[in-house]
């Protein structure tokens, strides 16, 4: 029998070709299976919550410090050296009580000179009045002319005016002398003492601060948008930040402008005297209305390169919806203008496994 020397090589090539074909066939079947699996991807299990409408938010708190409703910075109208001080820090004083005194070497002599000037002019005025009476008599007898009589009358009128000016100057010097003693304008307690005896005090320099015993208030700075619905006498909640006690405040003043050039406006609230003391830190709560606001769970907000968004469930599919967060309300986010509507379902759990248009399975 004749056997070709090329037969083993042919058999080997045929076997190798068959193996390659089988392998390619298997890979094609596996690829089709993977593609089919991707097409029929299982629904992603998620948890969702409804978009709700909120009529108002939690009160926003603004901090301030309790102060006396009636308070004053006490100053001297004249300068001098503080010679004595009869009030100490924390002392209770009555209205009109002497608190301090300064020494000014010019006040006493100026008062004495003014009083002496008044007496001098009064004496000259009396003499001028008598001279005018004699001139009138002599004029009736034809001894003096009318012009001489008028000169006497003009001299008397000038001296009368000079007496008035001198008396005003004397009263002024007397008042300045009285200003050398500082008195309490109302009853209260000394909150601060800023000058010690022996120190020089300039006119208008604060020597001490006085606060009335009754009537407390707190001033806070708030945005202008939150002042529109406030009225004098309106009740507002307040909290003592140290004790946590809740207080009831009343609006006493509403600022209509900001002289400091800022975007915040002053709001003054009265505080019960029995519930706080001057210097206490207090927070005042203001309710901000937001009638058309929508809220979603804070956990449903996603951050991406395109901004904030949520996944809304529509026909069991996830749909990305951009949102704008205006503020936070506890565990929920207040939204601005949005494509969402109250009652929509948004995903708050399972976001990391979710993509646009994925089928979802709602978990309880």
Q: Is residue 29 part of a domain?
A: no
Q: Is residue 352 part of a domain?
A: yes
Q: What is the pLDDT of residue 347?
A: 92
pLDDT by 10s per residue, the chain, length 364: 333 444 445 455 555 555 544 454 554 444 444 444 444 568 889 999 988 887 555 678 899 999 988 899 999 989 999 999 999 998 999 999 999 999 999 888 888 999 999 999 999 999 999 988 898 888 888 888 888 889 989 999 999 999 999 999 999 988 888 888 999 999 999 999 999 999 999 999 999 999 987 889 999 998 877 887 788 889 998 998 888 888 888 999 888 766 555 678 889 999 887 778 888 899 998 876 555 578 889 889 988 778 899 999 999 899 999 988 877 777 888 887 778 888 899 999 988 888 888 889 888 8
Q: Is residue 296 part of a domain?
A: yes
List the one residue out of 63, 170, 47, 69 whose CA is nearest residue 118.
Answer: 170
Q: Is residue 350 part of a domain?
A: yes
8 Å CB contact between 129 and 156: yes
Residue 252: give the domain boundaries: 61-70+213-289
List the one residue out of 74, 160, 170, 175 whose CA is nearest residue 114.
Answer: 170
- Per the listing, tokens 């309710």 go with 287
Whole-structure pTM over 0.85, yes or no? no
List the one residue out of 229, 232, 236 whose CA is nearest residue 290.
Answer: 229
Q: Is residue 314 part of a domain?
A: yes
Q: Is residue 39 part of a domain?
A: no
Task: Write the CATH number for 353.
Answer: 2.40.420.20
Q: What is the pLDDT of residue 8?
A: 47
């Amino acid at each position: 029998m004749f056997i070709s020397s090329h037969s083993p090589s042919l058999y080997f090539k045929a076997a190798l070709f068959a193996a390659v074909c089988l392998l390619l066939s298997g890979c094609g079947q596996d690829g089709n299976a993977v593609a089919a699996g991707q097409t029929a991807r299982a629904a992603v299990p998620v948890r969702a919550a409804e978009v709700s409408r909120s009529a108002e938010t939690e009160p926003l708190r603004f901090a301030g410090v309790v102060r006396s409703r009636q308070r004053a910075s006490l100053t001297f109208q004249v300068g001098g050296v503080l010679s004595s001080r009869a009030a100490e820090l924390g002392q209770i004083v009555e209205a009109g009580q002497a608190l301090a005194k300064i020494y000014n070497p010019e006040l006493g002599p100026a008062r004495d000179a003014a009083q002496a000037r008044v007496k001098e002019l009064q004496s000259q005025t009396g003499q001028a009045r008598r001279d005018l009476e004699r001139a009138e008599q002599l004029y009736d007898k034809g001894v003096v002319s009318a012009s001489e009589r008028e000169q006497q009358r003009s001299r008397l009128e000038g001296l009368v005016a000079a007496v008035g000016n001198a008396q005003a100057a004397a009263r002024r010097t007397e008042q300045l002398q009285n200003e050398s003693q500082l008195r309490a304008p109302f009853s209260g307690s000394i909150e601060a003492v800023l000058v010690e005896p022996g120190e020089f005090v300039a006119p208008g320099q604060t020597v001490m601060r006085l606060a009335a015993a009754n009537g407390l208030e707190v001033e806070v700075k708030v945005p202008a948008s939150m002042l529109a619905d406030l009225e004098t006498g309106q009740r507002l909640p307040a909290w003592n930040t140290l004790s946590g006690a809740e207080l009831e405040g009343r609006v006493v003043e509403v600022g209509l402008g900001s002289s400091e050039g800022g975007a915040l406006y002053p709001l003054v609230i009265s505080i019960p005297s029995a519930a706080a003391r001057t210097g206490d830190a207090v927070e005042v709560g203001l309710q901000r209305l937001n009638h058309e606001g929508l809220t979603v769970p804070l956990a449903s907000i996603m951050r991406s390169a395109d901004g904030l968004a949520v996944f809304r469930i529509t026909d069991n599919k996830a749909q990305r919806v951009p949102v704008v967060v205006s503020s936070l309300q506890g565990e929920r986010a207040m939204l601005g203008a949005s494509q969402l509507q109250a009652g929509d379902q948004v995903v708050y759990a399972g976001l990391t496994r979710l993509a646009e248009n994925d089928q979802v399975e709602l978990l309880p």
